[in-house]
Chains A and B, each alone.
Chain A
Amino acid sequence: MSDYQVVIIGGGATGVGILRDLSMRGVSALLLEQGDLAHGTSSRFHGLLHSGARYAVKDPESATECIDENLILKKIAPHCISNTGGWFVQTQDDPPDYVEQWIKACAEAHIPIREISPSEAYRKEPLMSKSVLRVFEVPDATVDGFKIVWANAKSARRYGGQYKTYHQVERLVMEKERVVGVVTKNLLNGEEIMVGCDIVVNAAGAWASLVAGSIDIPLDVICDKGTLLAFNQRLFQRVINRLRPSGDGDIFVPHETITILGTTSQFVDSPQENDPNEEEVKKLLQIGEQVLPNLTKYRVIRAFSGVRPLHREDHDVPGVNVPGINKEEGRNVSRSFVLIDHGVHNGVQGFISIVGGKFTTYRLMAEKVSDWVAEKLGNMTPCRTATEDLLPEIPENLWKKAAQLLPYAPVGKMLERLQEDTESVLGEIQRDPRKGQMLCECEMVSMAEVEKTAADEDTHHLADIRRKTRLGMGTCQGAYCTYRALPLLWKRQEKYDAIEDELRDFLNQRWKGIRPILWGQQLRETELTRAIYASILQVRG
């Protein structure tokens, strides 16, 4: 007997997108995620909502998908997107013959571009190199991975969809030539449960081949590590792309309070290999300098890496031959996605994998998967995710109340994060105004918001609070908010690891990203952090 019609494996953007889409169609679905939602690739990228212009020359299909999805997401999820616009800038180091090719390709993909004069560009972006040759405006935007993943999960829940985090899939359960369920282990208490279902969707991204491998189905997913740098503040007001074939360090993205410079590309053996290293950092800075002179003067608060799951099936897509770019590098693998029906390919019914793709097209990927699933289930309800708003509108009175109770906080961000929980958090601040103080001052997260998030049933570690609120992601990288948050975890200690373990784990996660960028102001900050934790609080290890 089936517990659900569908089990979705993987709580990244694609997985929650599928959960929402199916739930909206009335299909009962459960999503299983081995960690926290968006802990993997969906939060470990530059936060760019592609206009498609990046792919126009080499991968026109991806480019068209991107521009279509770009316009859809701006409409249905404006609260997760900052419509910054973007530029493609040609520097003296970029190949001159690429420009005309790119202009033509953008036109073919229906990506609107507009050339602007370098002098206008310098006025709008004073930190940009004064030696850029040409500048084109494109409809790039930025998207908050955490926010959009949680918005999808919350929306799915409103439609009856369910998800379990910290549930690792141990194996798929087969009956004859058919998948009939999954065995999943609750990583928090070690319990194994069997969930019966009609269809299993493998949306595990970089982990997808491990899932398929549990029933000996080979799935060729390449793990392509990309490292990025987070600068302390917004250095640019809009996305700045290099006008040249894709390469390392070719994009600056102003993301929330920071600027992200990315990325590198390197094949790795497993999705766990996401440690940024010093060589990658140096390389990024060196290339970034061509667009932002004296780049090393500006403070980098951390480096981080994500693992792109690329599908190799069509690895012979002809890449543009750029000197210095190895054919085997990730950029020459198609960024388009593939839906693999294992009934057709491997003779296993009721099992489908979605691999490849990119964040910008997560909704389209979810739609394609859901269409396939719905057809199998005989569900005729059409997809509505392209038109229905992701987040219910925030009532005007909540805005006003929030602004009154938190007179110096960016309350819009809080409302977007908390959504339907806003009212209870504001009520708490009204009862006890001290809870309106900022527990995380860098990213301005109030004590009441942290307390509420710490109590959420799907929050299990301090890092989960970080992903939901941005706590610890700002300038000080957890120097002050880590110890301030601990008493709030203590109040719910049955849910968390031992408090000292939560503290150490969180600091060590921060340290992982700080270690490769230890110089200048962030070194001073880190010394201060070390003094607080290693000296005053005597934390070891």
Chain B
Amino acid sequence: MSFEPNKAENLDACIKCSACTALCPVAAVNPLFPGPKILGPDAERFRLEGLQIGTTLLNYCSKCKTCEITCPSGVKITEMITRAQEDAKISGGGKTLQFSIRDYLFGRAEYLGRLAMISPNLTNVLLKAPPVRKILAQVLGISSEAPLPAYNPKFKGTETGRQSKKQVVYFPGCFVTYNDPPTGQAIVKVLEHNGYEVIVPSFHCCGTPLEGNGYLNEAKEIAKKNLALMDPFMRAGIPLITGCTSCGLALKECPSFEEPESELQTYDLFEFLWQLHEQNELRENFNEVQVSLGYHASCHLKAQGIGTPSVRLLRLIPGVQVAELDQGCCGLSGSYGFKKEKYNTAMQIGNPLFNRVRQGVASGEFQSVITECGGCQVQIRHGSGIKTEHPIWVLMQAYGLN
């Protein structure tokens, strides 16, 4: 195993405090999972010795990155685990053939999406059919209970066509592009409502699904392709915005964005809108919206370290009540909770959240849930049965755009 100076320094920073393991959602529910400290920096010292250890367990990391945001020493724990997973895969260890094929497919959400676009309706019918799910479970190890999201005709952002001097580049991400185009259109409308021309180049996947399934190198390759598409806009100082928190994290962590000024150009949607608010550039002639909402902060939003800008922003709207649920990870972590050997773990991780949601709705504290992450939406709906959607829809109502 080869390594670079900054990786060596990063490993040195671990002082073994175990804060990462104390807060790891997987370790909390799965006693066989030794946690990020052991699989990350502890095992890393042995991996540098040429020993591959715990290869099967590495695959149980959900890549939620709670460990990285928790670490008081800035150790890139998830990255260490993902790299180890990739090295184990290259040397043929760690996974059965079935799981390898499945994870290969799950890593490529973009291509699965494109495939589904041949006929989204047919795909949805098939994905809902119990015999098909039985086959998927047996052949590919995809849990037959997993809430696989439905496909929709592809998001076409480029056709919105408004011209303005104020421009933003919008990164829709695979979930909006293939599963939830209306949310993407809503985001474009809100930005346009605020006087922006929204440019949507034909981006590739952000790489998060690849990383989540242990394909770090490929994730970096795809990031380079996206970077090439973004380059002219970045040079022109046009900000890049995404409404998906996992895409947002991937774009902010993109290895080529090492110059600080280019990193500053990448925004979470509500982070951007909040900045407009602070600069008095946000249109705030909101209609009153009488609604009470439970807000779930996704793990990858937390990992961005920007707080919860959507909650701050929605609270500016007259009538809107937002309760922060603060129950940790939903458990899904992209495709993690779809896998048959991890489905139960994912549901156990999400249980406190699902209970909180059900109780909140039952007691009338709020009527529905909002969260930016498409995966979290799917999982919360699945686990609690309560309507869950992107916070942009509240803003749409407040602007009277829907």
- By a beta-carbon cutoff of 8 Å, the part of chain A in contact with chain B is 82, 124, 126-127, 232-235, 237, 254, 256-258, 294, 297-299, 407-410, 412, 438, 441-442, 444, 474-476, 479-480, 520-521, 524-525, 528
Contact = CB atoms under 8 A, between A and B. Distances in A.
Interface in B9-44: 9, 11-17, 32, 34, 37-39, 41-44
Nearest to A403: B53
Contacts of A257: 45-46, 48-49
Nearest to A411: B53
B9 A297 contact: yes
B48 A233 contact: yes
Contacts of B4: 126
B401 interface: no
A407 B54 contact: yes
Given A127-B5, A410-B53, A441-B37, A524 B46 contact: no
A476 B16 contact: yes
Given A234-B48, A407-B54, A126 B5 contact: yes
A294 B44 CA distance: 22
A441 B14 CA distance: 13
Contact of A298 (B12, B14, B48): B12
B311 to A, nearest CB: 34
14 contacts: A124-B2, A126-B5, A233-B11, A233-B12, A234-B48, A257-B46, A257-B49, A407-B57, A408-B54, A410-B53, A442-B45, A476-B15, A524-B15, A528-B15
B54 A475 contact: no
Contacts of B73: 521, 524
B291 interface: no
Given A232-B12, A233-B11, A408-B43, A528 B17 contact: yes
Nearest to B5: A127
Given A410-B51, A442-B42, A475-B41, 16 more contacts: A126-B3, A233-B48, A257-B45, A298-B9, A407-B54, A407-B57, A408-B43, A408-B57, A438-B38, A442-B16, A442-B45, A444-B46, A474-B45, A475-B15, A475-B45, A520-B12
Contacts of A474: 45
Contacts of B50: 237
B355 interface: no
Nearest to B15: A525
A254 B15 CA distance: 21
A298 B48 CA distance: 15
B53 A409 contact: yes
Contacts of B44: 233
Contacts of B45: 232-234, 257-258, 442, 474-475
A521 B12 contact: yes
Contacts of B48: 233-234, 257
A410 B57 CA distance: 14
Contact of B49 (A256, A409, A441, A521): A256
A407 B42 CA distance: 14
Contacts of B51: 410, 412
B158 interface: no
B98 interface: no
B42 A441 contact: yes
B197 to A, nearest CB: 46
B8 interface: yes
A370 to B, nearest CB: 34
Most interface-central of B9, B14, B15, B53 (chain A CB within 10 A): B15
B121 interface: no
10 residue pairs, one from A and one from B, having the closest CB atoms = A408-B54, A299-B12, A234-B48, A257-B45, A476-B16, A525-B15, A410-B51, A410-B46, A408-B34, A233-B45
A410 B42 CA distance: 11
A493 to B, nearest CB: 28
Contacts of A258: 45
A215 B373 CA distance: 83
B56 interface: yes
B27 to A, nearest CB: 12
Contact of A521 (B15, B17, B54): B15
Interface of B: 2-5, 8-9, 11-17, 32, 34, 37-39, 41-46, 48-51, 53-54, 56-57, 73
A254 B11 CA distance: 16
B16 A479 contact: yes
B15 A298 contact: no
Given A127-B8, A297-B9, A408 B49 contact: no
Contacts of A235: 8
A201 B50 CA distance: 41
Contacts of A528: 15, 17
A234 B54 CA distance: 19
Given A126-B2, A408-B43, A409-B53, A475 B8 contact: no
A260 to B, nearest CB: 14
Nearest to A259: B48
A475 B14 contact: yes
Contacts of A294: 5
A442 B73 CA distance: 17
A448 to B, nearest CB: 16
Nearest to A412: B51
Contact of B16 (A233, A256, A480): A480
Nearest to A258: B45
Nearest to B17: A528
A253 to B, nearest CB: 13
A113 B91 CA distance: 31
A410 B49 CA distance: 11
Contacts of B13: 521
Nearest to B44: A233
A503 B222 CA distance: 53
A479 B17 CA distance: 10
A232 B9 CA distance: 10
Contacts of A297: 5, 9
Given A407-B54, A409-B53, A476-B16, A298 B8 contact: yes
A474 B37 CA distance: 14
A124, A407, A476, A528: most-surrounded residue (chain B CB, <10 A): A407
Contacts of A475: 14-16, 41, 45
Contacts of A479: 16
B8 A408 contact: no
Output the residue of B14, B16, B57 with the most chain A CB within 10 A.
Answer: B16
Nearest to A300: B12
B11 A232 contact: yes
A366 B386 CA distance: 77
Nearest to A408: B54
A232 B39 CA distance: 17
Contacts of B43: 408
Give the one of A294, A299, A408, A474 with max B CB within 10 A.
A408
Contacts of A82: 49
Nearest to B39: A408
Nearest to A523: B15
Contacts of A442: 16, 42, 45
- For A235, A409, A474, the residue with the greatest tally of chain B CB atoms inside 10 Å of its CB is A409
Nearest to A256: B49
B60 to A, nearest CB: 10
B229 to A, nearest CB: 31
Contacts of B38: 408, 438, 441
A497 B151 CA distance: 69
Contacts of A232: 11-12, 45
Contacts of A412: 51
A294 to B, nearest CB: 7
A235 to B, nearest CB: 7
Contacts of A233: 8, 11-12, 44-45, 48
Contacts of B11: 232-233
A407 B11 CA distance: 22
Contacts of A124: 2
Contacts of B17: 528
A538 to B, nearest CB: 20
Contacts of B3: 126
Contacts of A127: 5, 8
A243 to B, nearest CB: 24
